[in-house]
Chain A
């Protein structure tokens, strides 16, 4: 399945609020650990290696890291 990069969340604002709420009150280390678990859970749900590679690529080529 090709990676879906168009708007797909049922309710974007609710998801974003849930995401922040999950990190509420956590230390930096706890938040990092939670993010890592979340990535692994979502990756398993997607399952398909090609889609995941596309997602990694999309993440790697946006944002400040993509300096050139």
Chain B
């Protein structure tokens, strides 16, 4: 069988740029066709901005990487036109079990809130995630959108200039120079761009190794997340079992620090470990085995002139809590509308500094959460292990201790509380979850009218609840009004009105709230819009 990660998905093809007499200048060049680079290109191209992706490979991500995709990235993918195949293919789960030693200490249900189009999480192999993004690229190309993926195109050198970036691209047929007005470096944790520009990447290495195995098996395990602390089959360490589509199961086994990685990776050493965990009678086949050490770190700044870092190149987290790809897609969601406004001449370049500000806040939140999970899972001192074990012992009998158990926290989008793009909250009696800076909570609009988030996106929008508002044009942007009745008891009332009777929200293209009021004021809206595009301090 040919696995999708073995087949070239975007094989090398000669580009006309290679034969041009002088270097060709493209609007946006993206280095890296991982989840982040692909999402960025789709976002730009579907809004008419030319995007060229260069990748030194020609296939989807190899082997065991991301499997959990959270609600917010799925909502972003809906906006990018490819959320549905992901959710259709993905495995949905709500139940989890926690084991300590040889016993189950408790189980939990994520109990997702009703009235959202997308589930809290799906499990999906990263190679499917990338494959569906590539499919979306192909569909956009068929529609004539300005988007291209160039496989086997390795960026070897980068020259930065005040008004463009120059790239040396190595291909199987030799190298050529390509210029870009803007460069998005989505070239992963080992980012060659970062290295070529001599930029920092500081943080913390967790001194532990994890065996990550994807196994194909026909087993009776339910669709649940099982996490073991100090199990009999992996004494003193931890383990995770989680289901993926196609009968593939993700298994994480903590191995400790002093190990021989090459030895541990050999099937003759991996298989007995897995048998000890799964039981002798279970038949399985190894799809992929890797050994990782994990890190939490970020660049000091995500914008360097005309070079914008996004995804793992800008920040790296340990996978507990599934925040890598999830947050990388949120980077592009934040970046692409700003880049479009700058390219279209609507906003000044400085707007891009708000990308740095907002996504650094997001990265710090993710690093904090992932570090805390890793510290709980792999206690680094006697006393931290004593407290960890005390929490687990208590969790078996007392509900209070369960929130202290940390085997990874749900990846939630961050609220840009102090962003310079926000206007002051003039509606504090409305729910805090929809305050300026927050991602819009989704809402079921009732009686078959679908979901709120499907009506927003790609552009600035005025949302008027229980009041009237008029469309307006400001700073070269045309704003439409979505006027909806939010009766008491509706999702909309609970999530956007609270104690207020009516509300007007200004919503950004990335579906974050920019400002809110109790009614329509043209002057206030114009000022908030100018502020949200960096035109007013």
Interface residues of A (CB under 8 A from B): 32-33, 36-37, 39-41, 44
* Chain B residue contacts of A41, Cβ below 8 A: 394, 398, 400
Report whether A33 and B389 are in contact in the complex, using a CB–CB cutoff of 8 Å. Answer: yes
**Count the A-B residue pairs with Cβ separation under 8 angstroms: how many?**
26
Chain A nearest CB from B400 CB (Å) reads: 4
Per CB-CB distance, the 8 closest pairs between chain A and chain B, nearest first, are A36-B390, A44-B400, A37-B390, A36-B386, A36-B387, A32-B386, A40-B390, A37-B394
Residues of B close to A33: CB separation below 8 A:
386, 389-390, 393
Q: Who on chain A is nearest to B400 by CB?
A: A44
Q: Scan residues 372-429 of chain B and give those whose CB is less than 8 A from a CB of chain A.
A: 383, 386-387, 389-391, 393-394, 398, 400-401, 404
- B239-255 toward A: CB 8 Å interface, digit per residue (1/0)? 00000000000000000
Q: Which of chain A's residues has its CB closest to B404's CB? A: A40
Chain A hits for B391, CB < 8 A: 40
Assembly CA distance A32 to B393 (angstroms): 13
Interface residues on B, range: 10 to 19
CB nearest neighbor in A for B401 = A40
A residues less than 8 Å from B404 (CB atoms): 40
A2 to B387, CA, bound (A): 25
- B contact residues around A36 at 8 Å (CB): 386-387, 389-390
A32 CA to B394 CA, complexed, in Å:
14
Of residues 333 through 369 on chain B, the ones whose CB sits less than 8 Å from some CB of chain A are none
Most buried by A among B387, B390, B394, B404: B390
Q: What's the Cα separation between A40 and B389 when bound, in Å?
A: 11
Proximity string of chain B (98-109) to chain A, C-beta cutoff 8 Å, 1 when within and 0 when not:
000000000000
**Of all chain B residues, which has the CB nearest A29?**
B386
- Please, which residues of chain A bring their CB within 8 A of the CB of B398? 41
A33–B391 alpha-carbon span in the complex (Å): 10
Please give the distance in Å from B265's CB to the nearest CB on chain A. 35
26 A-B pairs (CB sep. < 8 Å): A32-B383, A32-B386, A33-B386, A33-B389, A33-B390, A33-B393, A36-B386, A36-B387, A36-B389, A36-B390, A37-B390, A37-B393, A37-B394, A39-B387, A39-B390, A40-B387, A40-B390, A40-B391, A40-B394, A40-B401, A40-B404, A41-B394, A41-B398, A41-B400, A44-B400, A44-B401
How many Å from the CB of A66 to the closest CB on chain B? 18
B400 partner residues in chain A, CB cutoff 8 A? 41, 44
Chain B residues with Cβ below 8 Å from A37 are: 390, 393-394
Which residue of chain A is the closest to B395 with respect to CB atoms? A40
| Shortest distance from the beta carbon of B404 to any chain A beta carbon, whole Å | 7
Closest CB in chain A relative to B164 CB, distance in Å: 50
Q: A32-B386, A33-B389, A33-B390 are in contact. List 7 more A-B contacts (CB 8 A).
A: A33-B393, A36-B389, A37-B393, A40-B387, A40-B401, A41-B400, A44-B400
Complex CA–CA separation, A40 to B390 (angstroms): 8
A residues in contact with B389, CB < 8 Å: 33, 36
Closest to A34 in B: B390
**Least Cβ–Cβ distance between B396 and chain A, in angstroms:** 11
- The answer for the CA separation of A39 and B404 in the assembled complex, in Å, is 13
Chain B nearest Cβ from A60, distance in angstroms: 14
Nearest opposing residue in chain B for A36, CB measure: B390
